[in-house]
Amino acid sequence: MAAPGCSAPGLWVRGSGQCLGSLFTLYSKPLCSAAAAAASRPLDAQRLAERLRAQKQQQKTKEPAPTNPVQRRVRELVRFTEQLQRVHPNVLAKALSRGIVHQDKDLVVINKPYGLPVHGGPGVKLCISDVLPVLAKILHGPKAKPLHLCHRLDKETTGVMVLAWEKEVAHQVQELFRTRQVTKKYWAITVRVPVPEAGVVDIPIIEKEAQGQQHHHKMTLSPSYRVDDGKMVRVRSSRNAQLAVTQYQVLSSSLSAALLELQPITGIKHQLRVHLSFGLDCPVLGDHKYSDWNRLAPQKLSAGILKKLGLQQSKARHLPLHLHACQLTLPALQPQKEELTLLCRPPRYFVNSLRRLGLKMPSRDHSAGDEAAQPGAQSRRSGSLP
């Protein structure tokens, strides 16, 4: 009967072990060396992992920490935006619950942060619609039904955003938006000051393909009139052009920048950004898409604005869009209720840019006013601000 002896591959020892000593002598060195090699492999992998960690740490330490507070804030904002796409949905829902502007049995109004998309899409790992079930459970317990979106804001736009507990209420609010019964006001910091300082931009908007180094689509103006020998001549408009009307007013201005209050009468995609950039030649600060028609490149800023912001042109790509939904007024949803005016403070980077550019925060007579500058956002029923 054969029995296995030493663990060398292909080696069998017959009998009770008479040849075991000689065989052990013959094979002891290869076996020991093989065992030593096997023991060294995990040690080498561990050392390699430690070496890679050390290299990554060295790369991080090589990046000089910016001494300028604005540059530090830009870096913080970039990291925050990236983190929003990596955090767990529960963590994001918790953060949104801390920024609630208003809550009642029908609606929940949040202060939408910068850089967070409302809907999913290519390259989007996390969005507001994904965390609505979790947010509802945080507010109303584990048995709460998911909240419903009532409208949307662009990924880069901050401010008032309305959610509804019931689908029927959400449809009701959506219909109010569609029929232009909701009054919306935005604040925007612009590059340059519009002339005149108050007015209405009434120019249709259409989506076209921009012919540049990179082929891309943008919204642009589709005017119904043109100037011919000093006279306004009506031209045939495209059937794809959409009516777009924006009221604007300068709240504060300097030589190179302005704070505008905007009231969109219509709700066309990117309407405010297109009207400001192509209609008034005053693009929104941090608008890297509509500052130039043919190029997809960081916004080109004047030396004066860069100096005030403490930035270099090479770092302008990190500048966030300075467009904030500061106020929204909803008509009464039921006969016994009053209209609801919702106010939302601008983000910290917006307020810091105002200060650096020498622009003043509006008084209480202008939309959100001083309430927007306070630590908490507020909501109020119809009537004037206290």
Query: Shortest CA distance to 182 belongs to which of 340, 326, 365?
Result: 340
Residue 261 and residue 366 in contact, taking contact as beta carbons nearer than 8 Å: yes
Would residue 370 show up in a list of annotated catalytic residues for this protein?
Answer: no
343 three-state secondary structure: strand
- Phi first, then psi: what are they for 69, rounded to 5°? -60, -30
Torsion-angle region of 141 (φ positive above 0: left; ψ -120 to 50: alpha; else: beta): left
Q: Which two tokens stand for residue 230?
A: 């000093």
373 three-state secondary structure: helix
Amino acid identity, residue 364? R
Let me know the angle formed at the C-alpha of 377 by 375 and 378, rounded to the nearest 5 degrees.
130
Which neighbouring-strand residues pair with 199?
A: 248
Of these residues, 106, 130, 154, 202, which one is catalytic?
154
Residue 201 and residue 294 in contact, taking contact as beta carbons nearer than 8 Å: no
Q: Which two tokens stand for residue 315?
A: 């770092």
E-strand ranges in the chain read 100-103, 107-112, 148-149, 158-164, 183-191, 198-202, 205-210, 216-221, 225-228, 231-234, 245-253, 257-264, 323-330, 340-343, 378-381
- DSSP one-letter string for 87-138: S-HHHHHHHHHHTEEEE-SSEEEEEEPTT--SS--TT----HHHHHHHHHHH
Whose tokens are 């709240």? That residue is 251
Q: Which two tokens stand for residue 199?
A: 């007015």
List active site positions: 154
